[in-house]
Structures are given as C-alpha cells and as structure tokens.
Amino acid sequence: MKEKSKGVGPKKTAEKKTAADKKLAAVKAQASKKPVKAKTDLAGGGQGGGQVGGQGALGRVKFTPRNGAQTIVDFLESVGVDTVFGYPGGAVIPLYDALYDSKIKHVLTRHEQAAAHAADGYARSTGKPGVVFATSGPGATNLVTGLATAHMDSVPMLAITGQVSTTSLGSDSFQEADIYGISIPITKYNYLVKDARALPGILSEAYRLTDYGRPGPVLVDVPKDIQTTIVNPDNLLPDSVPLRFEKPPSPDLASVDSLIEALHVSHRPVLYLGGGATITNSGADILTLVERTDMAVVATLQAKGVFPDNHPLCLGIPGMHGSKYANLAINESDLILGLGVRFDDRVVGNVRRFAPLARVVHVDIDPAEIGKRLPVDVAVIGDLGQVLSLVLKRLPKNSRPAWRKRVAELRSTFPMDVPQSSREIKPQAAIRALSDSCKGQAILVTDVGQHQMWAAQYFQAQKPRHFLSSGGLGTMGFGLPAAIGAQLANPKSLVCLIVGDGGFQMNVQELATIAQYQVPIKIMLINNGCLGMVRQWQQFFFNRRYSQTLFDYNPDFVALAKVYGLWAESVEKSDKVTQMVKALISQKGPALLDVRVPRDENVLPMIPAGMGQTDFFETEEGAN
C-alpha cells in the first residue's frame, strides 16, 4: 500500500487517528500472509501509531502495513534469528506485541542483565549474534554489564531497547534513561532511532555490524512511537553516506613474509592464541601449523578449546594463573606468535619483562590492537583465517625436536598435578572429575573467580566454543545466564556450568528461567563460603585481613535448587566426588551439585599483577 497523502510526514500522520485505522486493520487482517490478530493492529495504532493512505489507497494493496515493532520482528525473522532473550516493559509493549505473532522463541529471563548474558552465551557457543530486548530506563541500564562483558570479549550481540516516545525524549520522563549515551563506550556502535523511515536501514546495518570484522555488541534504542509508526517500504529515509561493509583488506604479503621468515628462523617459538582464533574458527589450520613447526601453544580463556588441551604441545593458559611451564616457555621463547590476541595485562604482566628473548609477531584484524600494550616486531593486519592459509601455503615443515624436548622437560619438571586430599574436596579435583566425565564433549561455562581459573587449568576442552567465560571484564553473575543461553542454542549438547557461591547468587533468580524452560544445564557449584579470589589476594597481599569476603550466611543451595524443581545434591567428601559428578551429568533435566570445598584453597601458580613471567608467588606453604 502506498503512502498517498503527500507532504504529510510520518510524525504528523502518527498524531492523527481516524476511522481509517480500523478499516486498515481489517484490510491488514485480510491481506496479511501471516494471520494477524486484530488486537495486534489496534495495539499498534493505539499509541498514536501511523496510518497509511486515505480511502483510495485501500484499493491498491501492495504491502501489508507494518509498524516499527513489526518491522523489527520481521527483520529478525528474515536474518534467521530463532531466539531472543529479554524482559518486557512499558516502552516495548508494541515490540512484544509484534513478537506475539512471531515464530521467534522468546526467552523470558528474570532480570535484563541475565537476558544480556544469555544472549552472550548463545552467541559465544554458536558464533551467531545473540539478540536481547529490554525496555527503556531501568530495563536498558540493566543491560549495561552484559553489553560491557560482550564488548570486552568481542561477542556479537544485538540489543534492542525501548525508549520513551520521541516527543518526550530529553524531558526526564518516566523510565527515561539516555541508554544511547550510556552505551557508547561499551558497544561497538549504537543507534537512537528518531525517524521510523530510517528503521529498516538501521536494523540491517546494526545486525551486520555485530559480526563484521571484529565482532561486538550493537544497541538500537527505539522510542515507543517509532515502534507504533507504520514503516512504508516505499518511503524510507536513505542513508546518504552508507556504511560500506567491505571485505577486510587482504593481509599485506610483505608482512606475511616477515611472519614466515621470523617463524622459520626461530628455535623456540610459542604460539599465543586469543579470541580471534575462536571467532575465525581456525582450529584446523592452527593444528596443521603446530604440527609443521613444533610450536608450543598457549591459549587465553577466549581461545581455550581451539587447540586441544590434551595435545602434548598445549601448555594451557598463559599469564597470572597459567602453569609454570607455560610461563617459562614464554620466558625462554625466541618468538611469540600472537594470533587474535590483546596482550592483555593478565597474560603479559610486566610489559618490559614479557618474553625477554623473543621477537613478537602479532596477527589481528583490528589495527588498534597492534602495539596497544606491547611493542611488536612484526604486525600482520587481517582476517586470521586468510593469514593462516597464506602462511600454510608457503611455510616449510621445520621440526624442532630440541624445543619439543625442552617443552616436555618443563612440563615434567613443573607438572600441573591435581591437588588431592583423602578427606576434604579439593576444588581442582572436583573440576577435573567433571572434565573426565564429560570427555571433552561438554560446553563448559564458568563464572568468574577462583573456580574460573581452576576450570581453565584443569578442565580439558577439546573443541572451540566449548569453553565460555567472561575473560576481559571478569563479570561475576555471567555464568548461570550464559549457560542458559548456550544450552538453548545447543539443545542437544551437554552444557555444564562451574560457578562459585558468590557469582551464583548474583543471578540466582535465573533458576526460575531454568525451571520454566526446563533448560537441562548441569551446575557444579564450587561452594567455599567466601569470595575466594579476593580472599586469596587479601591473604597474599593484605596480611590476611579478610575484609567482607567471608560469607557469614549462605542459603542451603540444595534446598534452594529443589524449590525450583532442579535435581540437587551436595557432596562433602573427596571419595564421593566422582560418583556425584557422574550422577549430576547423567540427569535428564536441570541439576545442581553443591560441592563443599575448603575456604582456604588458593589458585596457584600465581604471578602477582604487573610482575615478570618468572616471578611466581611463593606461599608460606611453599606449594606454589
């Protein structure tokens, strides 16, 4: 249907409400391919939503009039979005009304933050952008932590927030918050839609941006009246300077040659993998590269699983809580080849003392990452997949038996043995038991803290996108909702969550979401009754002054989980752990195992912040 009344802008149109609205509703119901309930249309127009054309227009139906909200839902369907996480509210009622007719599955979390983390878990486990809805004001601000988490770890996400009507914008109206301004530093890009005619263009641009180049979260703030205005496809606002989604420039061949040359002459190369390796799905190429070069491999949390943890050359995570052998290998290395990494402070420590003997080669798609923290000798800017295929084409096989031997030696001299005890449960042992029971098949989600580092150290991941963790931002409360998102995205996979008693309670309300949708995640609660990581720092660096890190009260987590209908058990004795872990993962539905562990267990080895690769913290017990 064409806009007939010329010269009448959509806003003006929107203010008028005539009998044509009702007629239109009838026409829509007839003309629509999808069965549209009449109430939907009325709700769409009720807020002062647009109308299309006059009497004459009714005769020449060319399209089904869709309002802004319906346009959003149509768009999401058209790009294949199957799941949306969110929470309704006043400013998104039209959006949720449009969703009412959609085949998209909406997952109602119990808090917007959880919706954002769930969308994040969905995205991390699939590579597809996660989508989250929230209302204006408090709904939108509740997304902030989730957006920042995704931003730090380059996770593609599309957040659509409701906003007060354009007519009330900026007047401190009810549930108004400037989420556009608030989210600038924590999104890849963001929009405030002020004209319904721009909505279709913005949606497709925003969605494309989420995973274009270096992925990240994108937010679209949609005022309520935009949601109810009819969007006429024949009358859109063209973008005069549209974004050009060009293919990333091919890597500079000279820099690739320098990389090959540097690698070729190196005797002790270390491959340092980051999130870019996961995003570009480069596991197979990396395996070939390692087999051809005998490089030792360290992988950050974001890359864990890209290269199999059980490979003899895999040294696990580098940095603060990396193994001694990983950090010593870096220290002895004469070449660090960083692929899709940030040279994060938790990895590098003291910039001046990082890999003192090594040349540093850095491959990244984001030029701003090159030299951001660490000066590099060779920079290759481009898509990692492309770079790797160029490298593999030309790189000759060059085995390094001496280096292989040295790496094996380091491993055997400083083994990462699982601490054992005959009475109390060592959390590391519980995590290893989970790892063994899952046989590398599970998608493991962690929260943040000691258990996260133990999981990084002792959980063996064999596949990319099977270890999901908030690395950059370190967001407590991430785990539970992210596991929900990962499980819903991968209904047939075994999804396990390792979480502490602190982080679990930060989004514990999501047990209701788990119960409602029967999300069969398996929760291993590492329950030490304290905020272990901070407690550890207080022990090491603040003279054991445990300020506000010991919980004097914790609920009975088993009883709590049972209230929500989960299978739940507790385990306290070390000889029962394996059996209980097996019981946990053999449950059909959602399940929780409360693993009681001692308060005073520490994550070791540890290199204190800002120190060099060999400055392992020595505890009184000398256990480090």
Partner 1 sequence: MIKILSILVRNRPGVLSHVAGLVTRRGYNVESIAAGPTENPEITRINLVVSGDGPILEQVVKQVRKLVDVIRVDDLTNDQPVTGELALITVKVSGLKRAEALNVINLLSLTISDIKEDSLTVMVAGTALTVDMAVNGLKPYGIVAMARTGLVALPRPRNGKPKESKERD
Determine the Cα–Cα distance for residues 136 and 176; give it in Å rounded to an integer: 6
b/e map 240-266, b = 16+ CB within 10 Å: eeeeeeeeeeebeeebbebbbebbeeb
Q: Binding of partner 1 at residue 576 (CB under 8 A)?
A: no
Using CB under 8 A as the binding rule, the residues of this chain from 225 to 264 that contact partner 1 are 240-241, 243
Smallest gap from residue 148 Cβ to partner 1 (A): 12
Q: Which is nearer to partner 1, 147 or 391 (CB)?
A: 147
Q: Binding of partner 1 at residue 366 (CB under 8 A)?
A: yes
Smallest gap from residue 518 Cβ to partner 1 (A): 40
Quick one: tokens of 402?
A: 């001496």
Question: Considering only 65-73, 106-114, 176-184, 225-233, which stretch makes contact with partner 1 by CB under 8 A?
Answer: 176-184
Determine the Cα–Cα distance for residues 569 and 398; give it in Å rounded to an integer: 52
Question: Considering only 186-194, 251-259, 482-490, 535-543, which stretch makes contact with partner 1 by CB under 8 A?
Answer: 186-194
Among 184, 357, 408, 609, binds partner 1 (CB under 8 A): 184
Among 54, 371, 415, 555, binds partner 1 (CB under 8 A): 371
539 alpha-carbon distance from chain centroid? 31
Among 87, 180, 207, 564, binds partner 1 (CB under 8 A): 180
The residue type at 513: T
384-387: long-range contacts at Cβ-Cβ below 8 A with a sequence spacing of 24 or more?
384/276, 384/277, 384/279, 384/280, 384/282, 384/339, 384/340, 385/280, 385/281, 385/282, 385/285, 386/248, 386/250, 386/251, 387/251, 387/256, 387/259, 387/363
**Phi and psi (nearest 5°) for 271?**
-95, 125
Cis peptide before 238 (omega within 30 of 0): no
- Look at residues 220, 179, 224, 217 and name the one whose alpha carbon lies nearest to residue 203: 220
Among 106, 372, 463, 576, binds partner 1 (CB under 8 A): 372
Write the binding mask 125 to 164 for partner 1: x where contact by CB under 8 A, - elsewhere. Answer: ----------------------------------------
**Phi and psi (nearest 5°) for 46?**
-60, -35
Is the backbone of residue 361 left (phi > 0), alpha (psi -120 to 50) or beta?
A: beta
Among 370, 416, 488, 584, binds partner 1 (CB under 8 A): 370
- Look at residues 174, 85, 176, 181 and name the one whose alpha carbon lies nearest to residue 133: 85
Q: Which is nearer to partner 1, 164 or 604 (CB)?
A: 164
Question: Considering only 75-83, 185-193, 350-358, 449-457, which stretch makes contact with partner 1 by CB under 8 A?
Answer: 185-193
| Contact by Cβ (8 Å): 472, 153 | yes
Smallest gap from residue 205 Cβ to partner 1 (A): 9
Q: Report strand pairing: 230-231 vs 66-67.
A: antiparallel
Q: Which is nearer to partner 1, 1 or 192 (CB)?
A: 192
Among 375, 415, 555, 610, binds partner 1 (CB under 8 A): 375
Quick one: tokens of 192?
A: 């405030």
Smallest gap from residue 184 Cβ to partner 1 (A): 5
Q: Which is nearer to partner 1, 189 or 517 (CB)?
A: 189
> What sign does the CA torsion over 166, 172, 174, 176 have?
positive
Write the binding mask 471 to 510 for partner 1: x where contact by CB under 8 A, - elsewhere. Answer: ----------------------------------------
Three-state secondary structure string covering 220-277:
EEEEHHHHHCEECCCCCCCCCCCCCCCCCCCCCHHHHHHHHHHHHHCCCEEEEECHHH
Q: What is the DSSP code (8-state) at residue 337? A: E
Q: Which is nearer to partner 1, 241 or 254 (CB)?
A: 241
Write the binding mask 44 to 73 for partner 1: x where contact by CB under 8 A, - elsewhere. Answer: ------------------------------
Write the binding mask 425 to 464 for partner 1: x where contact by CB under 8 A, - elsewhere. Answer: ----------------------------------------
Determine the Cα–Cα distance for residues 399 and 294; give it in Å rounded to an integer: 6
Q: Which is nearer to partner 1, 192 or 416 (CB)?
A: 192
Among 66, 188, 197, 451, binds partner 1 (CB under 8 A): 188
Q: Which is nearer to partner 1, 237 or 534 (CB)?
A: 237
Q: Binding of partner 1 at residue 208 (CB under 8 A)?
A: no
Q: Binding of partner 1 at residue 415 (CB under 8 A)?
A: no
Smallest gap from residue 111 Cβ to partner 1 (A): 27
Question: Considering only 59-67, 180-188, 348-356, 545-553, which stretch makes contact with partner 1 by CB under 8 A?
Answer: 180-188
Give the CA angle between residues 242, 246, 247 to the nearest 5°.
165
Determine the Cα–Cα distance for residues 169 and 315; give it in Å rounded to an integer: 54
Among 2, 126, 189, 474, binds partner 1 (CB under 8 A): 189
Smallest gap from residue 11 Cβ to partner 1 (A): 16
Smallest gap from residue 195 Cβ to partner 1 (A): 10
Q: How many residues bind partner 1 (CB under 8 A)?
A: 20
In 459-567, which residue ranges form alpha helices assigned H by DSSP? Answer: 479-489, 501-506, 511-517, 532-541, 557-563
Smallest gap from residue 165 Cβ to partner 1 (A): 17
Using CB under 8 A as the binding rule, the residues of this chain from 577 to 616 that contact partner 1 are none
Can you tell me which residue has the tokens 């085949």? Answer: 103
Determine the Cα–Cα distance for residues 501 and 524; give it in Å rounded to an integer: 10
Smallest gap from residue 343 Cβ to partner 1 (A): 13
Give the CA angle between residues 245, 124, 605 to the nearest 5°.
125
Residues that are catalytic: 112, 174-175, 224, 533
Q: For the chain, give the number of residues.
A: 624
Smallest gap from residue 278 Cβ to partner 1 (A): 21
Q: Which is nearer to partner 1, 336 or 374 (CB)?
A: 374
Q: Binding of partner 1 at residue 350 (CB under 8 A)?
A: no
Q: Which is nearer to partner 1, 189 or 617 (CB)?
A: 189
Question: 427-438 vs 450-458: helix axis angle to the nearest 10?
Answer: 50
Among 9, 56, 249, 367, binds partner 1 (CB under 8 A): 367
Is 468 exposed, middle or buried (CB count within 10 Å of its CB: 0-12, 13-18, 19+)? buried
Among 181, 356, 415, 610, binds partner 1 (CB under 8 A): 181
Determine the Cα–Cα distance for residues 220 and 203; give it in Å rounded to an integer: 8
- Look at residues 159, 165, 177, 164 and name the one whose alpha carbon lies nearest to residue 219: 159
Could you list the residues that contact partner 1 (CB under 8 A)? 180-181, 184-185, 188-190, 192, 194, 209, 240-241, 243, 366-368, 370-372, 375
